[in-house]
Structure 1
Amino acid sequence: MLSLLAASGASDPIYWQDLGLRPYLFQIGGFQLRYYSLAYLFGILFAYWHLSKMIKAPGSPMAQRHADDLFFYCTLGVILGGRLGYAAFYKPELFASTDLFKLWEGGMSFHGGVIGVLVAITWVAWRGGLNWLRICDYISVNVPLAYMLGRIANFINGELYGRPVEGDFPLAMIFPTDPQQLPRHPSQLYQAGFEGLMLGILMLALFWKTRSRYRPGFLVGVFTIGMGLGRFLVEYFREPDAYLAYVVVQTGLSRGQWLSLPMVAVGIIVMAYSMMRPAIGSANGAKPQSA
């Protein structure tokens, strides 16, 4: 990252390979410990650690045993939902091939991962008799920073780069996997910054510095709007997959943007629902009861 910042002061485009990056931490024989795998691992571990800390604060809708269940089932939801969503939304031909199971080759859908996590939350909430919407609030706080790690890993892999840059741009970059070798936007870093770091800081501040957690649906509403808007805007800088370029030509929007619009709409509805209802414990000044 320091090399990238130093190189950005030059007028010439930055060459990705000059940054000294490689997609794996180390290699033993044919095994590589890839940063993409580490991003998923540390993202999930951070989410579990922080969720365990959150439920110790007043007003928690669950106990530690529920957090343990969520850790297991949400991990499955992220992996299975992300992969199946990628195949469904972007590469349906994978369903007819064993390549569907080659997770180490990359190819995960954020929107599919969201669906997988929602299924996991629904199962844990139903089995434990918990408030589904409040669990979504608590889970949503932990997603952006974990998402940030995944986008940084995409950048380290030199994949999912952006559209060609028009004119001089200090962060214009040439990626070795680009067959055209054009200066492009490092859109992976845009997503890591806007949908990851900035949204993550906002979600943490809302949880720890305000009483937002006492309004069921407010936090997950903010998260859903933030992720949807962030993805919609950054898609203008991302390079559409070649096999989905026709979507942009026909509609003016990318597949990712079409999938983000319903997220924004749902987020607005959930936030409106949250604001129209009294905060938990506000009717008589009583403190919310923990699970």
Structure 2
Amino acid sequence: MSSAAELLSILTFPAIDPVAFSLGPLAIHWYGLAYVAGIMLGWLVARGMLRNAKLWPNDTPPCTVSHLDDFLVWVSLGIVLGGRIGYILFYDFAAILADPIRAIQIWNGGMSFHGGFLGAALAMAFFARRHAIPLWSLFDIVASVAPLGILFGRIANFINGELWGRPSDVPWAMAFPTGGPFPRHPSQLYEALLEGLLIFVVLQFVGRLLGGFRSPGLITGLFVILYALSRVTVEFFREPDPQLGYLFGGWLTMGMLLSLPMLAVGVWALLRARRAAGPRS
């Protein structure tokens, strides 16, 4: 087995400046650009899907492109607010109680996917009710493009050198600036490929080529199931958050724990969609 020093000489973490560029005193970070890129690209893909009437039940898109344009603001707020509140509640609650001002210090901690997921779901529910849009079809639209945001977000995590993996001697392991001298799994890239790119391809295939959008809720259930399974898998390679460590003195992490109810909800949504579709002739 290769020593840590030998591994470090094979693969070095690419020290990319977390600040993409500056506009005077304003620093634009890759992490912020990742959110913008994921939301905007998802919006463009969703617009294309709405223009293809054959994808939807009764050849009728669930909403107009104009609705989708308005919804962009709602879902953006849901993701950002839900992601931050979720991180505070799930990962940093004790520190916030001790120092409440830390809640707005986004450089201390970050965003929680599970919180962003709940925030986006609430935004969708309010928007669908307000505009009389079929809720499950709106869920499907967002679920089918959400992996793009995950893809860009995890790449930004890698650029920032954060949320790194557990120590490892695999040939592609690398030492992160804040992760000590030992080579680690680049688990951010695992998540980008698994939770982001792979799930996006699968959902687009099922939705566009297998008629998944014609069964409202099917794409949503599939997304939630695939994300939960992917997240649990990656958690075996990702270093747990230091303030939490392993839960209940074992191997369970907070990421795994939060993914289990997601898995149950996903299975329920998938079964519901299949029941609603009725027997196939």
TM-score for both structures, normalised by structure 2? 0.89
2:214 paired residue number? 214
Residue by residue over 1:164-191, the C-alpha shift from the partner in whole angstroms, topping out at 9 and shown as x without a partner, is 11xx31111101112x321110000000
Map residues 46-195 of structure 1 onto 2, 5 A cutoff. Answer: 46-58=41-53, 59=56, 60-92=61-93, 93-94=95-96, 96-103=99-106, 107-165=110-168, 168-178=169-179, 180-195=180-195
Q: Distance in 1 between matches of 2:20 and 2:216?
A: 41
Q: Distance in 2 between matches of 1:108 and 1:20?
A: 22
Q: Which segment is superposed worse, 103-112 or 210-219?
A: 103-112
Q: Distance in 1 between matches of 2:263 and 2:251?
A: 18
Is this contact kept in 1: 2:20–2:30, CA < 8 A?
yes
**Change beyond 3 A, Cα 1:246–1:193:** closer
Aligned letter for 1:43? G
Aligned letter for 1:164? P
Residue by residue over 1:148-206, the C-alpha shift from the partner in whole angstroms, topping out at 9 and shown as x without a partner, is 000000000111100111xx31111101112x321110000000000001001111112
Residue by residue over 1:224-247, the C-alpha shift from the partner in whole angstroms, topping out at 9 and shown as x without a partner, is 001000000000000011111141
Q: SS state of the match for residue 22, structure 2?
A: strand
- Report the CA distance between 1:278 and its aligned residue: 2.3
1:43 counterpart (38, 52, 59): 38
Q: SS state of the match for residue 171, structure 1?
A: coil
Q: Using the aligned pairs only, state the percent identity.
A: 38
Q: Distance in 2 between matches of 1:131 and 1:229?
A: 27
Is this contact kept in 1: 2:15–2:159, CA < 8 A?
no
Is this contact kept in 2: 1:47–1:143, CA < 8 A?
yes
- Report the CA distance between 1:20 and its aligned residue: 4.3
2:12 paired residue number? 15
1:288 paired residue number? none
Q: SS state of the match for residue 28, structure 2?
A: strand
- Report the CA distance between 1:65 and its aligned residue: 2.8
1:200 paired residue number? 200
- Report the CA distance between 1:251 and its aligned residue: 4.3
In structure 1, list runs of 5 or more residues that go unmatched: 1-9, 284-291
Residue by residue over 1:90-140, the C-alpha shift from the partner in whole angstroms, topping out at 9 and shown as x without a partner, is 001336522322335551000000000000000011111121111101110
Residue by residue over 1:209-258, the C-alpha shift from the partner in whole angstroms, topping out at 9 and shown as x without a partner, is 121100011100110001000000000000011111141x5243101100
Q: SS state of the match for residue 204, structure 1?
A: helix
Is 1:261 aligned with 2:269? Answer: no
Q: SS state of the match for residue 242, structure 1?
A: coil
**Change beyond 3 A, Cα 1:255–1:106:** closer
Is this contact kept in 1: 2:42–2:145, CA < 8 A?
yes
Is 1:274 aligned with 2:269? Answer: no
Matched pairs, number: 267
CA RMSD after TM alignment: 2.0
